[in-house]
Amino acid sequence: MTRKIWVFDTTLRDGEQVPGAKLNLREKLGIARQLKRLKVDIIEAGFPSSSAGDFNSVKEVAKKVGNTDDIMITALARAVKSDIDAVYNSIKYAKRPLIHMVLGTSNVHVEKKFGKSKDQILDIGVEAVKYAKTLLPDVQYSTEDASRSDFEYLWSTIEAVVKAGATMINVPDTVGYADPEEFGHLIYRINERLRNLNDSVILSVHCHNDLGMATANTLAAVKNGANKVECTINGIGERAGNASLEEVVMAIKTRPDAYNAHTDIVTREIMNTSRMVSEFMGLDVQVNKAITGENAFAHSSGIHQDGLLKSRDTYEIIDPKDIGLEDMELVLTARSGRHAVRAAFERLGINQFEDAEFEEVFESFLELADVKKEVYSHDLYVIVENYYKKRHKEGEKANSYSDYFYELLDLQVIDNTKFPSASVELKKGDQFMKGNAVGSGPIDALYSAIIDVCDLDIKLIQYDIRSVSRGKEALGKVQIQVEYEGEKFIAKAFDTNILRSSAYAYINAINSIIAESIIPKAENI
């Protein structure tokens, strides 16, 4: 069995320090429950001495999420009695509470922040640990700014607090200054001495991302003996953020040869957790972010798509299902090759093309991809239907798949404080339909007006909007996730008019539902 690496999640404490990312109690509890599903070992739920609200939410997390043996709940204290009391009084409801305290060890912290001598600071730390140990058996001590500290002073602090009873030592790269080789060496030296001093103490690291090296530094520490990592979901946190949980965990899982270790994380919950944190905190995940970015598993180059279809491992080192994504997303674009397009048709059950027929279909695909940029499965039905119509001149009316799909003709949205309202005009085959609705806001009214026409019981789970180009004519990209009969569908759309892109995205989602779960498969086209 490989060495277990403990995962300490500080999304609700360091992550919540991001300006504007404040969570309410319901959201904090939601994230804490999801972290438990993800099976992190420790949740740091907040900084209770900072406000009554924070105290209360830590207490609720301790009571409602920390009520089982499989998870520890902690919260942060400075090395002062009132902070330690606030942590104890908020986490004591958990089955396995842990007091976490922090005190600086670098010259700049000791001299400039505290204006004290090194000996005085060391004594304060030792007294704080001794006090915390009168309250609880498990105490973590963080040597803030460790990576910029004088090694012998850092070590004498660690030695003294371990002798005072600290059960976990956390070595932070507080300002993201370390480099992987140097940080690995620091952890190696500490680990060597710690193993001689007290083998049962957990050695932990907490890395910030100011130079983009938080994940690399954390992994270097794992290689050099750290057996606990402190991370946040999506890498959020103070300034440039913390080491990202999903990156550290998936690196350990994907490269057992390099790390010879494992975590207990249920990696299939990674995407759900990432989306929840992003949604609740209002912080978008960068599109090309490793593991959880929108493009992390999207292959758009024709050469890559062709390779993937021959064998996944040509261009994919992680199975998307492992992190909770349904499957790799082959975004069909004008750059997609024949192999990818044929495979997309086959996934829809359309597999009867002779080579010459397929060439014609592929030509139509390229024409559409030029106009639409991204081609969905329902577009493929339209392509194939047009192809057969062309081929048989008039075509078979009964088999016309575009009769099932909706198209937006026009929309009007009126926003006011009392009754935001919307009306839409849609087309399906040769039917023209109008829908109207009021809603709690303009988008809610717009989506209700579309449902007024389509009459499907759809739940909107996620709605994201952002600009994907610059200037006055910038394209607004809307991405949504909806649920229909327990199945989730993602759709997106671009337009310079954000109400139109919102409507197109919703109609794309509806058409995907129709394509995938309502109309019969296309063998009999």
Residues at the interface with Zn ion (CB under 5 A): 14
Question: Nearest Cα to 106, choosing from 94, 97, 118?
Answer: 118
Least separation in angstroms between CB 365 and ligand KIV: 51
SS (H, E, C) 154-194: HHHHHHHHHHHCCCEEEEEECCCCCCHHHHHHHHHHHHHHH
Helices (H), 439-480: 442-454
Q: Which does 142 bind (CB under 5 to 8 A by kind): ligand KIV, Zn ion, none?
A: ligand KIV
Site for ligand KIV in 70-109 (CB under 6 A): 76, 102
The entry of Zn ion, ligand KIV, none that residue 289 binds, CB within 5 to 8 Å by partner kind: none
Hey, is 416 helix, strand or coil? coil
Nearer to ligand KIV, 206 or 500 (CB): 206
Cα–Cα distance list, 395 to 160, 300, 311, 360, 367 (Å):
85, 33, 38, 16, 21
Q: Is 14 in the site for ligand KIV (CB under 6 A)?
A: yes
Query: Judged by CB, which is closer to Zn ion: 204, or 421?
Result: 204
Among 142, 157, 204, 218, contact with ligand KIV (rule: CB under 6 A): 142
The correct pick among 34, 57, 174, 421 for binding ligand KIV (CB under 6 A) is 174
* 172 binding ligand KIV? (CB under 6 A): yes
Beta-sheet pairing, 487-495 with 476-484: antiparallel
Find the helix or strand (DSSP H, E) in which 381 lies: helix 377-391
Cβ of residue 208: shortest distance to Zn ion, in angstroms?
Answer: 6
Is residue 339 a contact partner of residue 306, using CB atoms and an 8 Å limit? yes
Number of residues that bind ligand KIV (CB under 6 A): 10
Beta strand pairing status for 202-207 and 261-262? Answer: unpaired
| Closest distance to Zn ion from the beta carbon of 12 (Å) | 13
* Residue 237: CB minimum distance to Zn ion, A: 6
Nearer to ligand KIV, 101 or 513 (CB): 101
**Which of 27, 83, 138, 144 lies at the binding interface for ligand KIV (CB under 6 A)?**
144
The residues, ordered by sequence, that sit 6+ positions from 418 with a Cβ below 8 Å of its Cβ are: none
Candidate ranges 34-42, 169-177, 382-390, 458-466; the one touching ligand KIV (CB under 6 A): 169-177
Q: Does 206 bind ligand KIV (CB under 6 A)?
A: yes
How many CB atoms are closer than 10 A to CB 397? 9
Stretch that binds ligand KIV, among 170-178, 184-192, 374-382, 485-493 (CB under 6 A): 170-178
Quick one: which segment of 25-33, 167-175, 186-194, 402-410 binds ligand KIV (CB under 6 A)?
Answer: 167-175
**Angle at CA of residue 55, ends 51 and 59, nearest 5°:** 170
Tell me if 178 contacts ligand KIV by CB under 6 A: no
- List the end-to-end C-alpha distance of the chain, in Å, as a whole number: 54
CB of 248 to ligand KIV, least distance (A): 16
**Bridge partners, residue 332, by sequence:** 375
Other C-beta atoms lying within 10 Å of the C-beta of residue 74: 29
Q: Is 16 in the site for ligand KIV (CB under 6 A)?
A: no
Residue 175 tokens read as 């300002």
Q: Measured from the CB atom, is 76 or 129 closer to ligand KIV?
A: 76
CA distance 249 to 219: 9
Contact residues: ligand KIV, CB under 6 A: 14, 76, 102, 142, 144, 170, 172, 174, 206, 208
